Amino acid sequence: MPVHMCGIVGIFCKSPAIEERLGELVGDMLVQMGDRGPDSAGVAIYRDPVGPGASKLSLYAADTDVDWAEVGEQAAAAFGVSRSVEITPRHLLLDVLADPETAEAWAEARLPGVTVMSTGQTIEIYKEAVRPEQFVETFGIARMAGSHAIGHTRMATESKVTTAGSHPFSTGMDLCLVHNGSLSNHNRLRQELRREGITFRTENDSEVAAGYLAWRMREGATLEQALEGCLDDLDGFYTFAVGTADGFAVLRDPIACKPAVMAETDDYVAIASEYRALAELPDAADATVWEPSPGVVYSWGAVAA
């Protein structure tokens, strides 16, 4: 089995100094993981939370002719106040004064050709089917400060090389997941989750894992409990890094075919598929470095509330 199949990275900041450098660090880590996944790159970055009653949407249009200025005006007309930031000609960040469900439903109904990649109060997702060097440069990732981020470099196996099939996947508010591995029971599980009202946008196996977590958490599970459920309900290989509005977690399947290594200092805790991504981090040589044990949930921040 090839071991160089997709790369994942993640950082959860424990100090304000690292929060300022979050984008720069996650970008450097992604570039290091380019050899593991040259097909596409993406990050979920948690930053600038909006206030109560407001929400953030990360929008994507496959067609670069989309008029983001007009989308911004439509949002302002629909919700009174909005902020729209064009990240690239295909990616728009939209803040609106509406709850996330309302905002997402509006976007799905009113914006043909536009895909909602994430919704919530803190999360932003950016991804594109390009090498990580180009991704980091195009999206200005290095300039993004925030509390935590997870990222992915993809070598496609289970679905096509498209931006929509790229990671991270979000299927719930402020929830997202990156995955190294492949799931065997994703078709049946997707069917079951659809019946439970979870929406899927692709045929990708990793999106099903994100949907599974969203469903378990909707039913009252904590992130830790939802991840423990993966051990029983997901069949396949996986190393997951998962973000919520204020939490961060890691899980490897019990067989542990897919690699993972972690590093922790007073300033951050980080995961990567390989140590060479962690070597980019400040004081990496003095960090506590360990390989997460198979079948054990590791978590930081608010995950057990």
Partner 1 sequence: MSTPTQAIDVDLAVTSVRDLNHALHEAREGSWYIRNPRGAHAIAAGVDAPLEIDVDGHVGYYCAGMNQHATIRVHGNCGVGVAENMMSGRVEVDGDASQSAGATGHGGLLVVNGNASARCGISMKGVDIVVRGSVGHLSAFMAQKGRLVICGDAGEALGDSIYETHIYVAGSVASLGADCIEKELLPFHAQELSALLADAGIDDLDVTDFRRYGSARRLYTFDVDDAGAFE
Among 70, 101, 235, 291, binds partner 1 (CB under 8 A): 291
Q: Which residues have a Cβ under 8 Å from the Cβ of 52 and sit 6 or more positions away?
A: none
- Binding of residue 34 to partner 1 (CB under 8 A): no
Tokens representing residue 168 in the block: 């991270």
Quick note: the x/- pattern for partner 1 over 227-266, rule CB under 8 A, is ---------------------------x-x--x-x-----
- Binding of residue 155 to partner 1 (CB under 8 A): no
Count of residues in the chain: 305
> In this structure, are residues 200 and 194 in contact, taking their beta carbons and an 8 Å threshold?
yes
- Hey, which bits of 47-90 come out as E strands? 55-61, 82-88
DSSP H stretches of helix in 177-236: 186-195, 205-218, 223-233
User: Which residues share a beta bridge with 179?
Assistant: 240
Per CB under 8 A, the segment of 137-145, 155-163, 187-195, 282-290 that binds partner 1 is 282-290
H or E, element range at 102: helix 100-110
- Binding of residue 290 to partner 1 (CB under 8 A): yes
Q: Which lies closer to partner 1 via its Cβ, residue 275 or residue 300?
A: 275
- Binding of residue 289 to partner 1 (CB under 8 A): yes
Minimum distance, C-beta of residue 9 to partner 1, in the bound complex (Å): 13
Which residue from 49, 50, 44, 12 is spatially nearest to 301, judged by alpha carbons? 12
Q: Which lies closer to partner 1 via its Cβ, residue 20 or residue 235?
A: 235
> In this structure, are residues 75 and 94 in contact, taking their beta carbons and an 8 Å threshold?
yes
Among 156, 278, 281, 303, binds partner 1 (CB under 8 A): 278
Per CB under 8 A, the segment of 79-87, 114-122, 238-246, 277-285 that binds partner 1 is 277-285
Minimum distance, C-beta of residue 26 to partner 1, in the bound complex (Å): 17
Q: Which residues have a Cβ under 8 Å from the Cβ of 63 and sit 6 or more positions away?
A: 90, 113
User: Which residues share a beta bridge with 238?
Assistant: 181
Per CB under 8 A, the segment of 41-49, 153-161, 165-173, 269-277 that binds partner 1 is 269-277
- Binding of residue 3 to partner 1 (CB under 8 A): yes
Q: Which lies closer to partner 1 via its Cβ, residue 22 or residue 262?
A: 262
Contacting partner 1 within 76-105 (CB under 8 A)? none
Q: Which lies closer to partner 1 via its Cβ, residue 204 or residue 273?
A: 273
Q: Which residues have a Cβ under 8 Å from the Cβ of 2 and sit 6 or more positions away?
A: none
Q: Are strands 268-272 and 7-13 parallel, antiparallel or unpaired?
A: antiparallel
Q: Which residues have a Cβ under 8 Å from the Cβ of 187 and sit 6 or more positions away?
A: none
Minimum distance, C-beta of residue 257 to partner 1, in the bound complex (Å): 9
Per CB under 8 A, the segment of 19-27, 65-73, 133-141, 274-282 that binds partner 1 is 274-282
> In this structure, are residues 150 and 243 in contact, taking their beta carbons and an 8 Å threshold?
yes
Sign of CA dihedral 294, 19, 210, 64: negative
| 222 conformational bin, left if phi > 0, alpha if psi -120 to 50, beta if neither | beta
Among 200, 217, 294, 300, binds partner 1 (CB under 8 A): 294
Among 47, 83, 201, 276, binds partner 1 (CB under 8 A): 276
Catalytic residue at 6? yes
Q: What residues are annotated to the active site?
A: 6
Binding site for partner 1 (CB under 8 A): 3, 254, 256, 259, 261, 274-279, 285, 289-291, 293-294
